[in-house]
Amino acid sequence: MMMLTDLSGLLLLELREIAKKLNIDKSYDYKKIELIEKIEEYIVNTDGHTIAWGKIEVFADGYGFLRETNVEKDVYISSTQIKRFKIRNSDIVLGEARVPVGTEKNYAMRKILLINGDNLEKAENRIPFDELIPAYPNEKINLGDGGDISGRVIDLIAPLGKGQRGLIVAPPKAG
């Protein structure tokens, strides 16, 4: 069961997004503590389900578990859900989980509501890190401005560029 203290660490904007996914009316009219109470009330009233979130660990077989969750046990996430929403290792997933039934040891994710605090459509359209295009340095950083001689020496020996990646210009085999 999610406790009040678990929700108090979230931002008001995140709480409103959770409330929207849970179909709680007029979530923008509530203050943070009132919204937490409404979400808690919803959680208590759901039959056999709880809201769970945590960091996912995806296994080679395609399924995964939420680790470091707000519930007492890990939460199982099926490979179908992982493929459908393009969930990656270490994503923070929030969703509606059902309690273990019969011989099951873990909770099971029934419905995913948010991934990394964003809606599911945004998570599905993420570009993999390896396919991102880097922004190479296109502006020089001048360390020698201001009369500091050591900054000027660095500018002469190893000039720095500003971009997504740093660039140190040096002759080949200079060390």
Per-residue pLDDT, averaged over 56-84, amounts to 91
pLDDT at residue 1 above 60? no
pLDDT at 43 over 80: no
Whether 60 shows a pLDDT value over 90: the answer reads: yes
Judged by average pLDDT, the poorest of 33-37, 48-52, 94-98, 112-116 is: 48-52
Neighbours of 154 (CB within 10 A): 17
pTM, entire model: 0.59
Q: Is the pLDDT of residue 48 over 80?
A: no
DSSP the chain: ---HHHHHTS-HHHHHHHHHHTT-TTGGGS-HHHHHHHHHHHHHHSSSEEEEEEEEEE-TTS-EEEES-SSSS-EEE-HHHHHHTT--TT-EEEEEEEPP-TT--SEEEEEEEEETTB-HHHHHTPPPGGGPPP----EEE---TTS-HHHHHHHHHS-EEESSS--B---TT--
What per-residue confidence (pLDDT) applies to 80? 95
- 135-150 mean pLDDT: 82
8 Å CB contact between 51 and 19: no
Q: What is the CA radius of gyration of the chain?
A: 24
Q: What is the structure's pLDDT at 79? A: 94
